Structure 1
Amino acid sequence: MHLLIPVFFNSHQGGLHENVRATVQFMLSRQHHATVVCRPGPFAEQLREQGVGIIETDYAEEAFAAALTEIRALHERHSIDLIHAHPFASRRLGLIAAQVLGLPCVVTMHGKYLDALPHTVGKLDAVFTVSEGVRHYLLTEGGVAYPEKLHVVPNTPDCQLFNAVKVTPLEEAEGRVVISLVTRLDQDKAFILEVFYKALEHAAVYYPSRIHWQVVGQGTLQESFAEQMEARRGENTASYTGWLQGEALRDAYCKSDAVIAPGRCALEAMSCGVATIALGSKGYNGLVDGMIWQQAVFSNFGGVGDSYVEGSVERDLDRLIASRAERRRLGGFGQQVVRQFFNARDFHQRLLNFYQLAVAAHRDAPRPTVPEAELLGSGPIDWSGKA
């Protein structure tokens, strides 16, 4: 099978990139082929080194025709079987390509947004959501029809990589409790950063010189974030690693006594057996324990929700600082949640099974192709429903 994956992103690295990377790595491991349509940069180069085909585009509307020409040429050289698009500009391009070439098309929805899905779901073969909470949002508040097309395929950490390993403690921590914030430092993560600032201020007052904050991530807000950190951390210390991947990221988790993170990063930390506060761009779940783990799983660890109860992060921080034994217990509980509900091999195989069924169904009942000119036209593209 040859899979085409259009993916649009602003940041050079993030959870979306890791989701795509995991998909293509699984496909390659099963002797299938994958081509990714993305912006030029580090992600594209990393995938090339792994044997993944790359079509580069900046996803500007005026670049769609050129990208579509490359996709058509690729299809003629090495037939594409299915398009698996990700949201926004990449979903638009992917659906146009599917209609022009007469191919099945599926989309992954990563969070609480619609991205024209009510208008386009009838043209899609399946929609994957990363949690039950996202699926629930699309069907209720989003008013998306065809509920039978919406399937939950969560983000899953690589448990062989992200596991508890012995690491050298952080020298700069000097015996303090190490708490890591793992997230991109960009505007779409503003809610995460605002809640984190509350934790900083609380710790500065009640736990001076007892905490070392490790920041794993980077982004467009990193300069202002560093200023806020310095203004609020008090006598507690801080260090910055930048964006990490692979073993370096695993080691950063394992050097932590606790982690504050959204989505996939929360799952990776839990897989390493580290106590985790799930804090996403849309909501605060809190310290993952026997009380809130189901809420966290439902929401993709903060990806769905729109409220924060004042004092929540402070209470969770108090609990983490109070007892090393409690931190270890919570880390073990989180690891159990990951092992029971987020088996990467099972979900990747499920995704491949969906691909194969979609291709077979499309062969039985192919949709008519649509002329490229009808979709691109000579003026601005109508994204509301046409594509």
Structure 2
Amino acid sequence: MRILQLVTRFDFGGAENHVRELCNELVANNHQVILVSRNGRQKELLDNRVIFIPIPSLVSNFILAQAILIVYLNVRHKIDVIHAHQRLPIITACLAGFISRVPVVATVHGRVRHDLRSVIARKFASKIIFVSNQVLTISRHFESIKHKSVVIPNGIPIPQKFPKIESFTIGYFSRIDERHFEVIKNLVLAVEKFTNDYPNIKLLLIGDGKEVEKLKLMIHDSNLRLNDNVIQYRGFVENLEDWSSFPELVFGVGRVAIEALARGANVLSVNYKRMGEIISLSNYGQYALNNFVNISGIPPTSEKMYSQLKLYYQKRNEYRAETPALALKIENDFSISKTTQSIVEVYSTVS
């Protein structure tokens, strides 16, 4: 099958990581893949069998110009299906697909109101993939699109072995932008307070973005107050497979939660909008259905984070004992091979 993938940018993030791994898995299964996107650091991790076509930043927001390019690629490469991710690529793909009579599959990675805001996207997408059940059912357009919608979670390459777990180490992986910075600020405050109970605790912050300098200043001030190097910024990480050790407890949702559970870490479900619980065997099914987001949660605060930290370390042995079974569930439910197989089945229904 000849597949054209579209994504806005190709740097690091949940959607971008998924696109890269999906492309690599597709070519490993003898499909032909062309990826169109702005340049980014993910390009270095692409299988060399994937044809990467960069879009100059200056024209990346011009839908008509991109649509003409996609029509040209559809005709030249006899594309069987276009798979678009994020709002502008979805609209562009739908226009180009309509003109060149090529079916379009769109994946909504979380921001349903944003990605499906355009009537063009809702009308002309042949199939719409949602990464969680909640993302689909909360859509105000649910009734009009449910007949062509399917839930397929993002998958990951399953690690071959567990890394060494860094005891009493907390990890937070994210873009360092305004929204995540607020979560990090609350987490730093919670960890500062928690050092009174566990003086050997450590917080690792991993990521890159516009708020990095502001983050470094906050870390410096926090460590001065603690008179220790408790908060550490590890910066940009290209590939988790290179890590020989991993934090014991990770704060996050979605792909971050999946990657952490697969590596034998415990996970506390939290993002900038919703505070959740520590993932356990008893609540795994509920969280897995909704991309590891607490769909009824409220925004996190430092007090709530502190309470969850205290609960985790009070029951630490119980939570740690569940990690092998949780990792096995991730392997069964979220491997990139299983996800790709499900997506190819969607391609087959429209092409």
Task: Determine if the TM-score, normalized by the shorter chain, exceeds 0.5.
Answer: yes
Residue from 181, 197, 211 that aligns with 2:201: 211
- Specify the code of the residue in structure 1 equivalent to 2:215: F
Q: CA deviation at 1:267?
A: 0.4
Taking structure 1 as reference, are residues 50 and 329 closer, same or farther at Cα in structure 2, changes over 3 Å only?
farther
**Separation (CA, whole Å) in 1 of partners of 2:336 and 2:241:** 20
Aligned-residue Cα RMSD (Å) equals 2.7
Q: CA deviation at 1:262?
A: 2.5
CA deviations 1:267-289 (Å, max 9, x no partner) are 01100111111222432222111
**Separation (CA, whole Å) in 2 of partners of 1:64 and 1:315:** 47
Residue 164 in structure 1 maps to residue 162 in structure 2: yes
User: Which runs of structure 2 are paired with 1:157-196 in the superposition (5 Å)?
Assistant: 157-161=156-160, 163-166=161-164, 177-190=168-181, 192-196=183-187
Does the CA-based 8 Å contact 1:185-1:220 persist in structure 2? yes
Residue 296 in structure 1 maps to residue 287 in structure 2: yes
User: Which runs of structure 2 are paired with 1:239-250 in the superposition (5 Å)?
Assistant: 239-248=232-241, 250=243
The SS at the match of 1:12 is coil
Taking structure 1 as reference, are residues 127 and 305 closer, same or farther at Cα in structure 2, changes over 3 Å only?
farther
Taking structure 1 as reference, are residues 75 and 308 closer, same or farther at Cα in structure 2, changes over 3 Å only?
closer
Does the CA-based 8 Å contact 2:177-2:210 persist in structure 1? yes
User: Which runs of structure 2 are paired with 1:1-387 in the superposition (5 Å)?
Assistant: 1-9=1-9, 12-47=11-46, 49=48, 51-58=50-57, 60=59, 63-114=62-113, 115-117=115-117, 119=119, 120-138=121-139, 141-161=140-160, 163-166=161-164, 177-190=168-181, 192-207=183-198, 209-232=199-222, 234=226, 235=228, 237-248=230-241, 250-251=243-244, 254-302=245-293, 304=295, 307-308=298-299, 311-322=303-314, 325-359=317-351
Does the CA-based 8 Å contact 1:107-1:127 persist in structure 2? yes
Does the CA-based 8 Å contact 1:184-1:217 persist in structure 2? yes
Which 4+ residue blocks in structure 1 deviate beyond 4 angstroms?
A: 59-62, 141-144, 247-250, 303-306
Q: CA deviation at 1:216?
A: 1.7
What TM-score does the superposition give when structure 2 sets the normalisation length? 0.87
Taking structure 1 as reference, are residues 135 and 65 closer, same or farther at Cα in structure 2, changes over 3 Å only?
closer
Q: CA deviation at 1:182?
A: 1.4
Q: CA deviation at 1:33?
A: 1.1
Unaligned ranges ≥5, structure 2: none
CA deviations 1:115-173 (Å, max 9, x no partner) are 335723232111101111111212xx455513121111101221145x41348x6xxxx
**Separation (CA, whole Å) in 1 of partners of 2:60 and 2:238:** 32
Q: CA deviation at 1:81?
A: 1.0
Taking structure 1 as reference, are residues 268 and 61 closer, same or farther at Cα in structure 2, changes over 3 Å only?
closer
Q: CA deviation at 1:86?
A: 0.9
Larger Rg: 1
**Separation (CA, whole Å) in 2 of partners of 1:184 and 1:198:** 19
What TM-score does the superposition give when structure 1 sets the normalisation length? 0.79
